[in-house]
Amino acid sequence: MPYFDAASSLPLHPVARQALLAALDEGWADPSRLHREGRRARLLLDAAREAAAEAVGCRPDELSFASSGTRALHTGIAGALAGRRRTGRHLVVSAVEHSAVLHAARAHEADGGTVEEVPVDRTGRVAADGFGAALRGDTALACLQSANHEVGTEQPVAEVAEVCAAAGVPLLVDAAQSLPWGPVAGDWSLLAASAHKWGGPGGVGLLAVRKGVRFAPPPPVDERESGRSPGFADLPAIVAAAASLRAVRAEAAAEAVRLRALVERIRARVPELVPDVEVVGDPVRRLPHVVTFSCLYVDGEALLHALDRAGFSVSSGSSCTSSTLVPSHVLRAMGVLSEGNIRVSLPPGTAREDVDAFLTVLPEAVRQVRAHLDAPAAAQPREPEETAPEERREPEETEDAGVPSLTVDSLGKRCPVPVIELARVIDRVPVGGTVVLLADDEAARLDVPAWCEMRGHEYLGAEGHTYRVRRRA
């Protein structure tokens, strides 16, 4: 079964497995002790730190191991904010950061600090000057991911780091997605990553803090890992994480070229094979193994399960795949279609035959989901069919300042139903007429404007749960 969710996690790399088994026999002792077994464990820990630091591009004494990538991020943010508390309590983050960063930002805000989110363009990329404009005299820390975890867009870290350095603000980089492919460029101040993203064991994170960065580890603090990760370290897992990072880096350049070609094939073929699809993310400045697209009139959860039944493991940012029933914050910040969102992230070693097989089953999977939802045909909308009142409310014809108008009540209905009902009735008003859609589903704020752009109609805006669309074609 092809596994196409590498951006979430990877199976244990063969080198990681080999190193883990060896370290279980040699690295069980406390590396802080001076006896023979402790010294042996310490040698393993020091070697792992040197290997990981080389991959990160920092000094070994600048790098600490944490219990996860999330813990590394939380510790890095809390420590940098505490270390610069005399400067101020203003935190700057991009709008598409990983939820671990945004959770830390909310906690900082709840504790009396201030947070500013820097917007992104439609590809999910921040502008360096826009990031710089958010920096203030009381800014204690700025956070920017090296590449986005949902759409693969690479961020201008080097340029932003230069802007931050000029303002005297440290920059923390979340390098979880990009570190397996190469070191992060630029004069960053702090960096965090997670081993399970490159085939290391889960439960190992990296936190690098450059010399000269003011940093106060959050309490309680003990003597291990420079006070940044208290408790007894999982030394075998750390050894395996460092060994696998070195191994994947040795293969990264060649594998990136190969996977990028496969991703280009997916990006080109999906819109040809499936009508009404939006491929999202930067087409050029992106990770080599990630491609994300959204399908109009498709329930994301249903499509994900259909692909799973066909033998393909993928991920989704659609609201209907989330317990919160809202689209991912990344798709919202980008302002792109969220219906039927699918992220394909290819693991190292993916065969072209598996990609071709995916492209073969995808059209039928989308067709089945659309048919189940009784979605309009791709070429043009159709008249609504008679159904029970509790399933579909009849549109109400009104007159809006002399312009023919139709009101569709989709309150209480979830993505993608409101947009499907909008599509069914748009041809019931003349060109120039309007449709008023009532929808309280959060996805409508993304999907109604996206539908208008894809179908050539004019989006007139929203007020509360009311969306107005003018027919143009």
Pairing of strands 396-400, 63-66: unpaired
Exposed (0-12), middle (13-18) or buried (19+): which is 463, by Cβ within 10 Å?
exposed
Of the residues 58, 320, 415, 452, which is catalytic? 320
8 Å CB contact between 13 and 244: yes
Cis peptide before 416 (omega within 30 of 0): yes
Instruction: Give the Cβ contact number of residue 114 at 10 Å.
Output: 16
DSSP string, 168-221: T--EEEE-TTTGGG-PPPS--SEEEEEGGGTT--SS-EEEEE-TT----PPSS-
Alpha-helical regions (H) of 310-405: 329-334, 352-372
Nearest Cα to Cα of residue 266 among 222, 223, 312? 312
Query: How far is 66 from 282, CA to CA, in rounded Å?
Result: 32
Amino acid at 345: S
Q: How do the residues of the chain divide into helix, strand and coil, expressed in percent and rounded to 5?
A: 40, 20, 40
- In 244-283, where do the E strands start and end? 277-280
Per the annotation, the verdict on 320 as an active-site residue is yes
Nearest Cα to Cα of residue 464 among 402, 411, 404? 411
Q: For residue 271, how many C-alpha atoms fall within 13 Å in the half-sphere facing its CB? A: 11
Instruction: Give the Cβ contact number of residue 223 at 10 Å.
Output: 8
Active site residues: 320
